[in-house]
């Protein structure tokens, strides 16, 4: 969603390689949120509710196009499955005629689905400086607002975000986000889910073989951790921020029969639940098919608006 130029990719070893990491930042605290983009927000609202998620009320975005600009009403709104630390954003284009300072319509024109990954920081300005020092072009620090209802009455959610130039992140739109009013987002009344969901355990991305090393190195530097191997997966584990990367040629082992929207793409996320059997019963009662996956089960991206969903105990 950035207007900036092309970033410099830094090469690295292949899957499972171990080497020292040039530290970029220790400010990444976890996964802030994942984002599923659609022009039909009603559809994913129905689907994710039927999967047993509690969704926050629909909220329209106010967005700034450049650093220092005042946010203006944009073309998007969202509903979120909130877990207290991270969340899944269902992001919809709800007014095609409204301003689009974050270029969401162009993103949807490419393809809809799992398009956004935001990592969590407590200092967006520091994150921006360190990204710039590493020759990663960004949007600068942008302001976001949206009005929400709380038990205290209407309040305004405020956040700051840094977007990495999407031309340098072929796997998806990458950002680093900072809550300024976390309590208005992660309201206790929205954190209880019928399916027992407790959080995001991991994000899985597919990397085109030619882009695999650059993508792996970028996230290794962001998370200040070295990649490890788990079968066909390369894993970057920095506590609450756990990323899994699989080469496109190996993706069929992990995501058999799943759609392939691009050479590199955000493919799936892991949902941690209290009771796998209980969560699976809720999903299947909605008429959505599942398949076993490890100690849990999987919902295809075809049924979850472009994001494969692994449910596992955690």
Domain map (residue ranges) of the chain: 28-190, 197-313
Question: Tens-of-pLDDT digits for all 314 residues of the chain?
Answer: 333 222 222 222 233 333 333 334 457 888 999 999 999 999 999 999 999 999 999 988 877 777 887 888 889 999 999 999 999 999 999 988 888 888 899 999 999 999 999 999 999 998 888 788 777 789 999 888 888 889 999 999 999 999 999 888 999 999 999 999 999 999 999 999 999 999 999 999 999 999 999 999 989 888 888 999 999 999 999 877 899 999 999 999 999 999 999 999 999 999 999 999 999 999 999 999 999 999 999 999 999 999 999 999 98
Q: At 30, is the secondary structure helix, strand, or coil?
A: strand
Residue 142 structure tokens = 């942008």
Q: At 60, is the secondary structure helix, strand, or coil?
A: strand
> Looking at domain 28-190, does it have CATH number 3.10.180.10?
yes
Question: How many whole angstroms separate alpha carbon 196 and alpha carbon 276?
Answer: 9
Strands (E), 8-134: 28-38, 59-63, 72-82, 87-93, 113-121
Q: Which residues contact 43 (CB under 8 A, 6 or more apart)?
A: 305
> Looking at domain 197-313, does it have CATH number 1.10.150.120?
no
């Amino acid at each position: 969603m950035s207007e900036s130029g092309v970033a410099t990719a830094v090469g690295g070893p292949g899957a499972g390689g171990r080497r020292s990491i040039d530290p970029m930042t220790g400010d990444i605290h976890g996964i802030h949120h994942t984002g599923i983009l659609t022009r039909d927000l009603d559809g994913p609202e129905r689907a994710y509710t039927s999967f047993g998620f509690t969704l926050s009320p629909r909220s329209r975005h106010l967005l700034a196009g450049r650093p220092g600009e005042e946010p203006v009403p944009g073309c998007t709104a969202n509903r979120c499955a909130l877990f207290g630390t991270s969340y899944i954003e269902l992001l919809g284009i709800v007014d095609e005629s409204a301003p689009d300072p974050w270029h969401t319509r162009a993103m949807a024109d490419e393809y809809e689905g799992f398009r956004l990954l935001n990592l969590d920081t407590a200092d967006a300005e520091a994150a921006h400086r360190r990204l710039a020092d590493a020759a990663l072009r960004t949007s600068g620090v942008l302001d976001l607002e949206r009005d929400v209802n709380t038990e205290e009455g209407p309040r305004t959610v405020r956040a700051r975000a840094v977007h990495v130039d999407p031309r340098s992140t072929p796997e998806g739109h990458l950002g680093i986000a900072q809550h300024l009013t976390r309590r208005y987002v992660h309201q206790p009344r929205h954190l209880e889910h019928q399916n027992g969901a407790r959080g995001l355990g991991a994000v899985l991305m597919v990397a085109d073989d030619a882009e695999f090393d650059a993508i792996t190195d970028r996230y290794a530097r962001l998370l200040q951790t070295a990649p490890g191997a788990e079968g066909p997966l390369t894993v970057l584990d920095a506590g609450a921020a756990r990323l899994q990367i699989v080469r496109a040629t190996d993706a069929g082992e992990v995501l058999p029969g799943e759609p392939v929207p691009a050479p590199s793409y955000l493919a799936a996320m892991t949902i941690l639940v209290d009771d796998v059997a209980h969560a699976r019963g809720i999903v299947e009662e909605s008429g959505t098919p599942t398949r076993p996956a490890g100690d849990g089960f999987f919902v295809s991206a075809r049924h979850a608006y472009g994001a494969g969903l692994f449910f596992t105990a955690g």
